[in-house]
Structure 1
């Protein structure tokens, strides 16, 4: 890769910090705990609890520095109570949908965000069932939005409980942001770090799209795209998802359909990666000699297909750690 000039819009990255918790209750999912809780600050995991171990544990050293053993004992007690509550919620949801056995999942995502430049804060709370939205909090209107007919009875009950809504609003606008600021300050050296990625071009067969793959970068505020003669290309380009790595870094990819490109024009294309906090672009030029593939050997004499296979395993590992509930309400971040 090579360093190019700074793009003007890179300086417009939002300075948002987030604190998010994910609760997952499931039934009949093989090799998966019935109840799992994970918490994240700026996409870095800070806490884990599951029904197998039944203990809340910190996932970052700086979390241990700002807490004591009684804190984690209290968290464990609270989450053990939540485990029982979510077991009841799962059975209630199955009854509402006229379901009995089989795989079913209830998930909750809640938390807050804080803009450390403007000081603005916001909060969110949303429930999902079997991979789809169920009910979502609208903090501005102080009401709940039922995404499913089966959630309407819950909406009526929660909307009428003004004391509960007052408590919720106080938590998401006061308590949650205070904890978020505390966590950000404690983990600043880790959360504010910048890790550059390893960028490679991959291809399965001579006719397959060329994949530009970046891995090992942090933070996740990054974009990657193909361009021709310094202009972004949209035709024949397919953007993959951003996925977490097990070490807390991230990976992403973007494909380019080379069947649309003449051989003599390859050198006019390059893959561009831009990361928050880094002024320069990282680029790699479309060149057959640097592509790792299933159909020819790399310079080291090792079949490069093993690299592509390793990438597939890496992606599968990242997906297996990804949240089961992927769908999000349009009005939530």
Structure 2
């Protein structure tokens, strides 16, 4: 199944603003072995805050600080459980509807939804989105400007006409995505400030598979994910022979990144002219690691460390993709947070196809 995964890196060099997000992912599946028929997860800044699946049929929180939400709203889990139970039936029906639209019978089928918003804490710019997919392809998406639905496939045109005719629901969807959702981003940030707004510096290592392989500068355990990493020669950043990796998730909520340097044409006596630089948003001092053969880890154990951490991060991304779309992607709200997120509106965003 083709799944679109977009990883966004905000560069420190350009003093980029901090973007926070609240997203909900829904996946309904048919005949997928060892996977629940229905799964939901809510995420703040790409960290899961709650979860529900058809095996347990019970909403659960995923972050310690969510106990503060429940303290203000004791019915949070019970109410969400009932909402997700309703969604579970709608999504199951939608798979059957879409199977008929696509002239399908049995086999593995997956219906996915991602909706939510991003909020820029400097410009206050808001971006909302609602996207639906079927069997790994875009099925229908919400156009915020026109308050109508976009159908990239012929089989979605019926759904588009049906949903476009409900103008009141479309307006309510836009209001939620552009007004209510950003307010809840701020509130959740306020609840989870110590976790979501924390700063953690990484452990930086130099790794090399063989003496002729590129040298990898690997940083792991940093937070937030707004970081830059590059090689410098004689104090100047350069890119020749450099291969920069993406920022990846670690299982503990921190991040990792690596950048490779090809030293094939660099004589050993010139190695001292090179250094790896790591910059983390909000931290004034750079972490600088001099290119020194004596500190490069070349043993198989060292290689296993980076391979295992990268695999763990890739597995996490795949799991998140399997339960929804990862697409398109220090101010906080000081007011006391209201106790209930408007899930009634969210229910109306997920009608039958």
Shift of 1:12: 1.8
Offset of residue 172 of structure 1: 1.0
For the residues of structure 2 that align with 1:29 and 1:149, how far apart are their CA atoms? 26
Question: What does residue 302 of structure 2 align with?
Answer: 307
Once the two structures are superposed, the pairs formed by residues 259-278 of structure 1 within 5 Å of their partners are 259-278=264-283
CA distance in 2, matches of 1:244, 1:49: 22
Equivalent in the alignment of 2:313? 318
Q: List gaps (5 residues or longer) in structure 1.
A: 1-7, 294-303
In structure 2, C-alpha distance between the alignment counterparts of 1:99 and 1:58, rounded to whole Å: 36
Structure 1 stretches of at least 4 aligned residues deviating more than 6 Å after TM superposition: 326-329
- Residues 195-227 of structure 1: CA distance to partner in whole angstroms, max 9, x if unpaired? 011111222222222222111111111122223
* Whole-angstrom CA distance in 2 between matches of 1:221 and 1:257: 25
What is the Cα-based RMSD across aligned positions, in Å?
2.4
SS in 1 for 2:297: strand
Distance 1:102 1:208, change over 3 A: farther
Q: In the comparison of the two structures, how many residue pairs are matched?
A: 314
SS at match of 2:22: strand
Distance in 2 (alpha carbons) for counterparts of 1:255 and 1:93: 46
* TM-score normalized with structure 2 length: 0.80
Aligned to 2:30: 27
Tell me: CA distance 1:40–1:215, structure 2 relative to 1, closer, same or farther (3 Å): same
The answer to whether residue 118 in structure 2 is matched with residue 113 in structure 1 is: yes
Q: CA deviation at 1:328?
A: 6.6
Match of 1:41 in 2: 44
In structure 2, the residue matched to 1:296 is none
Residues in 1 aligned to 2:311 and 2:104: alpha-carbon distance in whole angstroms: 31
**Structure 1's 328 and 31: CA in aligned 2 closer, same or farther, altered over 3 A?**
closer
Spell out, residue by residue over 1:106-141, the C-alpha distance to the aligned partner (whole angstroms, 9 max, x if none).
Answer: 322211122333333331111233333332222123
The 10-residue stretch of structure 1 (155-164 or 184-193) with the greater mean CA deviation from structure 2: 155-164
Report the CA distance between 1:19 and its aligned residue: 0.8
Task: Show the counterpart of 1:208.
Answer: 213
